[in-house]
Each structure stands twice: as structure tokens, then as C-alpha cells.
Structure 1
Amino acid sequence: MKIGPEDKSASPLRRWGVPLSVAAGVAAVSVAAVAAFGATGQAKPRVAEPGRSGEGRTSAPSPTPSTGRGSTSGGTDSESSPDAFTIPNATTTPIAPGTVSKILSSCLGADASRYHAVVAVRTPVVSDNSDGVVVAVDSADQYVQCASKGDKGSSQDSPPTFINNRLWGTGRFIEYFDSTREPAGKGQYLMVGAGHYTADIAKITVSYGHQPKEYPAVMAGGAFVYAATLHPDTLPGPHYAGPSPYIHAYDASGKEIYDQSKDPKFTSEQ
């Protein structure tokens, strides 16, 4: 997860909360891909990196509150509860193909020609750093995730093509890419996340904190993206933790086959 100037004191935690391990040969990955799955797989390694340009980076352990740019995993009793919030908008809109090409080109550089976008959406609210998400894949099923701002793209990962599919195996349903929470004007935040999924899954939704309502994710080409506007019920302090997003996956019959909030690879961290 990313944090920004509002959270100078943030601890060096990172996205989605699976234990970190250093991946050989990859330096300076801000938020590496994480595999989350059913009872049988093993956690996917993530790569630690110091903050960039004075920013800390977080990925609060799920299912404790995840963190984003401008927030931390800490807090005080006087600050707003991470579960005292509303989600006024979780609707995304498509990005035009010509703009998607520009986003990928500026995000991936010379590698852009190898990738084609499978999900490209504008978020329901604009933060200082982003207004959309593009997930693309190459002929070897290697995925990348780029944040957009207008027709420009950027990635937390270094290189941007770090995200991939290398750890699929029996019992795994979901692999997580980057997720962020960023300030989007006074008193609101932009929540964004992405990943990819196996053929067992027909529908993916996301819930926030302990609230039961589930919001649909955008799914295409084996990738999913979610985005939502978050309003804390009271003005948060500088250490606002915020709610954790939880992914739910369903098969073609409508049966829930994965619930991140019950995934022992996350709950064991509590």
C-alpha cells in the first residue's frame, strides 16, 4: 500500500498483509504481487523496498485495516474507527482505447508493445496521484498494473513488469496485485486494488471492514480491478488506519469459494 505526506510517521508495512520475504534479483519493488488462496497453497513472496521520494509504503495485514497514501496502520483512541465509514460510490467507467495505449506506453516504456490491456477503468473519484487503473497481460500471461492520471501511467513496481503469474498451483484462486488508499480531497479517500484469478472463479466482489455489503469488481482476461470512494464518518486524524478491503470469489453456481477475511494466510497474522 502507498502512503504519502500526511503519514510521515508510518511504519514500513506493506500491501495486503502476507508475510514479506525478499525476492532474489528484484530490487526496489514497492508493492509486490501476493498469492492468496484456499487452504492448500503457500504464501507468495513479496519484495520489500524503502519508501520513495520521502513516502512510506504500507500494506497493512489483512484483515486488520489496510493502509494507503496519506494514512498509516496506527492510530489513537480519539481518532475515528476504521469501521465508521461509508462507501458512497464504487462505480468505475471504461477508459478509451487510445488513452489506454498512452497510459501503457508511459508506464511500461519499451515493454508496452508486448502487453495488451484487459481491464482499463477510471475510478469513481480522483486522488492527487491517480484517476484510473489499467491491467495488461502479455502472450506468456505475465500481468502488469499501471495507475493512470489523465493519459499518463505509472507503476509502484520496479520494474513495472514485476507482477506475474509464476506461483499458480492447486488450491489457489486469487493472486493480489497492488492496492492503495489515497486521499482524494478533504474527508475522503480513493480505495483501489487489483489481481488475477483462476478459471474456477465466475464472480469477484469486495467488501470493506466489517460491513457485509459486497461491491462487484471489474473482471476481464483473468484480471480484476476494484475502486471505491471512502468517507470516514468523522474527520480522521493523521494516523487513520481505514478499513481493510476483503475479496470474495464465487464459482459459476454462485457458491462462494474464497473469502479473504477467512483466509488463514491472512488471519494467522492477527
Structure 2
Amino acid sequence: MKIDPEDKPASFARRWGLPLGIAAGVAAASVAAVTVFSGQGAAQPARAGSGGRATSAAASPSAGRVSPPAGAGTGSTRPSSPSASATSGTFTVTGTATTPIAPGTATKILASCLGSDASGYHAVIAVRTPAATTDWDGAVIAVDSAGQYVQCEAKGEKGSSQDHPPTFVNNRLWGTGHLVEYFDSVGEPAGSGRYLSLGAGHYTSGIAKITVSYGEDAAEYPAVMAGGAFFYSAAFSTGTPAPKYFSATATPYVHAYDAAGKEVYDQKKDPQFAAGSQ
């Protein structure tokens, strides 16, 4: 797992003590039938209103249910309007839109990431991120017949995992009430004054929408959802040069909503992420 290139290798406790060090996951429901290779996301932020109901069209209950039925595909995650530009303190979110990776390329990414185990997995989310770093320009989330997920970061047609084995992401950290499970969340500089954050996980069947906020900014951005998994990514403008510990400044926080639009999980309020809990 990466935080910043400048950081020295962190201890296990430190790595899992920060929300940035992880992302989220879900109980697999009919995942064997899912053949979707991209989910739906948007660069337009949604701000939670009364009762957790989103106040922007991009995050309304009807638009927010982005997890497709088994066997159904979803389109590109290009936003319908210009990239987000929400500003908070030392950073500006410049984009959260993702674009699909072709099935054949996703297969190559999984093969290089998983080796001989790749044949047992099928991709449920395969997307390019809104910016590229030296190591990443996308990600593939895949699952096997036993409901075990893997998260592979991509660069071109090559894939890599932060975990050894890649299935280590499963069942290692659940959100309060076992609604959201966290996979990996990582970040890297994406050029001078730019930074890329990405992460994934899965959610239980009662979750209709996953959003992500960054740092102290209240804006929430819809995650890509498909096959019981979710994926999020954001590009930031950080100024030049970027702060040394920018990753902690723009820590991602996961929010989950039910079909009625009620917020049922807020990572910021999860006691296991409180200081000193890990």
C-alpha cells in the first residue's frame, strides 16, 4: 500500500490506522452472473441534506442506484458537465470521472496482476482514473466463484496488487454494522502540483449508493458500483510543490445510503477509524 513516495515504509498498525490506507468491500450477491466491465460515477459533488438525502441531481436516489442488475452493463463515467472543482483548504478536486477499460484489456491486466490465478476471476469494475501517475492509470476489481475479490491497479495493460496474496483484501476490515468492507486505498503524485487518489471495496445488499468525501470538504462524489463492489478515484490540484503529507490532508471517507436515500454509514463516524483505535 502506498501513501506518499516520500514516506518511509510504515508499520502495519500505521498503515491500517488511516482511512487512506484502505477502501471498502461487500457480500457477493449473484456475482457469478455479472459481466459488467465499468460502473457509473460522476465528477459532480453531492452534499447530504436532511435525513442524508442528497441535494443534487447527480446523487438523487434514482440516479444514485448505480449498481446494475446481474448481467447488465453500465456506461461511461464521464460527467454530464465540466469536471469538479470543489476546493478545501490546500487542495482542489479537479476530476472524479472514470472511463471504461475494454474487456480484453481488463483480462490482460488481471493476468499480469494475478498470474495463474487470473482464470478464476472475472472483472466487475474496470476503469481508467481521471489522472495518471507513474504507476497507475486505472484499476480492475474482480471476483471469483467463491465471492473473493481482488483489486488490481493498472498501468496500460499491466496490473499490480498492493496485497500478497491479492485476496488479502477480503474480510479484513468491516465498517460499523458490517455494511461496508474496505479494500485498498492508495495515492500518488500525478505530475507537478497534481495528485491521484483511488480505492475500492464492497457493500452489503441493503446499500443502494456509495459516495466519497475528501478531507474536511463536505462534498460527496458518487463511487462506481457494480457486481457488489465499488471503486472511487479523484484527481487533485495541490499547488506546487504538493504538500509532503498531502495524502492525509485529502483522506477519503466512504458514505453509504439505502434505497430511500438515508445515510446508513459514515466512515468519519466509525469508531474503528478514531485516533488510537488501530
TM score, norm. by length of structure 2: 0.69
1:86 maps to which of 86, 92, 106: 92
Name whichever structure is richer in helix by fraction. Answer: 2
Superposition deviation, residue 199 in structure 1: 0.3
Superposition deviation, residue 234 in structure 1: 5.7
Q: Name the SS for the 1:140 alignment partner.
A: coil
2:177 maps to which of 171, 175, 182: 171
Question: Percent sequence identity over matched residues?
Answer: 61
- Measured in 2, the distance between the counterparts of 1:85 and 1:162 equals 32
Deviations 1:168-188 (A, max 9, x none): 799210001011110100111
4+ residue runs over 6 A deviation: 31-36, 166-170
Aligned: 1:254 with 2:255: no
- Which letter does structure 1 place at the counterpart of 2:201? G
Contact 1:32 1:157 in 2 (8 A): no
Superposition deviation, residue 238 in structure 1: 3.2
* Counterpart for residue 133 of structure 1: 139
Q: 1:143 to 1:169 in 2, by over 3 A?
A: same
Contact 1:207 1:247 in 2 (8 A): yes
| Larger mean Cα displacement after TM superposition, 97-106 or 167-176 | 167-176
Q: Note the 1:67-86 alignment, pairs <5 A.
A: 83-86=89-92
Structure 2 unaligned runs (5+)?
Answer: 27-87
Q: Name the SS for the 1:111 alignment partner.
A: helix
Q: Name the SS for the 1:139 alignment partner.
A: coil
* Counterpart for residue 206 of structure 1: 212
Q: 1:16 to 1:34 in 2, by over 3 A?
A: farther
- For the aligned residue pairs, the C-alpha RMSD in angstroms reads 2.6
1:122 maps to which of 115, 120, 128: 128
* Counterpart for residue 223 of structure 2: 217
- Measured in 2, the distance between the counterparts of 1:200 and 1:226 equals 19
Structure 1 unaligned runs (5+)?
Answer: 19-30, 37-81
Superposition deviation, residue 34 in structure 1: 7.5
TM score, norm. by length of structure 1: 0.71
- Measured in 1, the distance between the counterparts of 2:145 and 2:185 equals 24
- Measured in 1, the distance between the counterparts of 2:186 and 2:254 equals 14
Q: Name the SS for the 1:7 alignment partner.
A: coil
